[in-house]
Structure 1
């Protein structure tokens, strides 16, 4: 059986990085590349590594150093998809030593040493730093289900600020017990620590990353909210052509001046109690009678009379000034909602909906 050429192997390895499998312990991204390289003969692996750039080398080296034990079924599946040039059933172990051997011979000693120092010295710290930045409520909820010894160990690795906030959400008896365990820590073998770090990475960091999609939609919605109404419709229509679900999600997050009609009476009253009368007058220019009356009914008696009088006796206004005033009011509503002072989707909608 002929040995695959480096270019062919590199191409197949690259394809493996983006595919997922349902295995006993799934491998993802750089883990697949590292497992395949470790399974290859060292000279071939070295020739392949020379084709990677610096970032790719660091990613693969980090994955190889943290790979741990990979069972034969996983290796066999990877090999079948990669090529039919490997023997099935062998087990491999990714470790710091194997990562060092993987780089040896492929790179100059100085370059290999630099990469290993960067990867092995910083990867664990980086993982705990990222974990410390995760929401404390998520961490607390997860750790409360774990054994107190595991709970205490994780707390000892987190930043002091994050650990304190998690402690504040922990029942008194458990909190005091955790403090005692942290004062008398038990040594943890390196393999067990790697297993714990991998589990936390998969259970917490990956889930937090997956949930950032909602934050992305919120940020984009905030940008779209600042656009003019015709621009908003144009953007959403364009998005709906190839990303209909995203467009639908964004529509649900948007809030325009006209959407004030959908607020509850209590929320509208809260909003217009805090807005200057001249801005309300400007924003209501050009609106129909029913919408105007809905807004006026949400204002106090004195403000109601003042705004109504200005609308009846005042002159016309520039469209850009009217749109600016409406945008400012919509922004004020969103800011109040962010501070939990009002609810935008409270369920108490007006019977009259204006487009």
Structure 2
């Protein structure tokens, strides 16, 4: 069998003990129990750690795994591995003291895994989730995740909530293991499982952002190649991409927020070579004083090198993407448009 189950559309990559963990969960306790008796303690710890950290296994992945083992499994729903599943699976199979030994190892590894996975979740998702919780709960969670993740998530809070959580962070005291497990279980159910389900779309966003930062001719060449090889994927990516040309599609309020962040000299440079309609749309988004300065510079200024113009446009488009990722503006769907100038 291949070293890993191939990752296809709607599938998740499983390796080593994760494959065993998924199959054991799919088999159910009676059959899994019979198989577990043939593993030694070290192997059980490795497998049960994988069960505890498994999270969501989409049905397509499970089906591919089953086919690889040539087993007669019916099509199933997604699986969700957790420490509770580990303990239930071992109950009646191993002596209580051996279960306690295994679970002690599993719980410690699982606890660390929850906070590590949470630290790698999108900060906007974590922030939106914690904003609905009690500030003390938010402070507890943020005290456990990576500092960089906590800082970005707090930065997205409303000002009053951010300051309240900061005060509570100073007073976070040790929490009982039982209470901490309850918090972790809720985070796993409410947040991490959803993040796993959305990983495909998150991956598309990352790919779109990578392509979006290429030079325009490289970008178009890559997209044309993708359109030939994987047309549906290319269409999805096209809808997630955003360029300077797409700024006129933003709502007026979003354009105003964007250009409040952009220096006037960068706006002047980016507008070189644009047509009157595009230029008017951008000028209408500027504050009165900035609009007068830009208009005057465009009327009296000399020509600029194309590479400098394109660099300025890229910087403005990147700023728009950053503001969108932080939730400050919403981007309209980008459509494939021709260059505004040769």
TM-score (norm: length of structure 1):
0.51
* Cα shift readout 1:290-342 (whole Å, capped 9, x = no counterpart): 333443454422431222221xxx13x33222211211121233334445554
1:39 aligns with 2:34: yes
Q: Are the counterparts in 1 of residues 49 and 106 from structure 2 also a CA contact under 8 Å?
A: yes
Q: Are the counterparts in 2 of residues 283 and 325 from structure 1 also a CA contact under 8 Å?
A: yes
Q: Are the counterparts in 2 of residues 30 and 59 from structure 1 also a CA contact under 8 Å?
A: no
* Cα shift readout 1:14-69 (whole Å, capped 9, x = no counterpart): 98xx9x9xxxxxx9861424755642495xx45xx8xxxx9x875424357899xx
Decide whether aligned partners of structure 1 residues 118 and 241 sit closer, same or farther in structure 2, where only a CA change above 3 A counts: farther
Decide whether aligned partners of structure 1 residues 281 and 236 sit closer, same or farther in structure 2, where only a CA change above 3 A counts: same
Match of 2:214 among 227, 233, 238: 227
1:205 aligns with 2:200: no
Between Structure 1 and Structure 2, whose CA radius of gyration is higher?
A: 1
1:95 aligns with 2:90: yes
Decide whether aligned partners of structure 1 residues 236 and 127 sit closer, same or farther in structure 2, where only a CA change above 3 A counts: same
What is the match of residue 151 of structure 1? none
Match of 1:120 among 68, 82, 106: 106
Q: What runs of 5+ residues in structure 2 fail to find an aligned partner?
A: 12-17, 55-65, 74-87, 146-153, 155-159, 162-175
Instruction: Give the drift of 1:256.
Output: 0.9
The 3-state SS of whatever aligns with 2:106 is helix
The 3-state SS of whatever aligns with 2:262 is coil
The 3-state SS of whatever aligns with 2:111 is helix
What is the RMSD of the two structures over their aligned residues, measured on CA atoms? 5.6
TM-score (norm: length of structure 2):
0.52
Q: Are the counterparts in 2 of residues 255 and 330 from structure 1 also a CA contact under 8 Å?
A: yes
What is the match of residue 238 of structure 1? 225
What pairs up with 1:1-355 in 2 under 5 angstroms? 30-33=21-24, 38-40=33-35, 45=38, 59-62=46-49, 82=71, 94-95=89-90, 98=93, 119-120=105-106, 122-126=108-112, 129=115, 135=126, 137-138=128-129, 159=141, 161=143, 201=188, 204-272=191-259, 274-299=261-286, 300-310=291-301, 314-315=302-303, 317-345=304-332
Q: What runs of 5+ residues in structure 1 fail to find an aligned partner?
A: 1-10, 21-26, 68-77, 85-92, 104-112, 145-154, 170-184
How many residue pairs match? The answer is 260
Q: Are the counterparts in 2 of residues 221 and 250 from structure 1 also a CA contact under 8 Å?
A: yes
In structure 2, what is the Cα distance between the partners aligned to 1:258 and 1:41?
Answer: 60
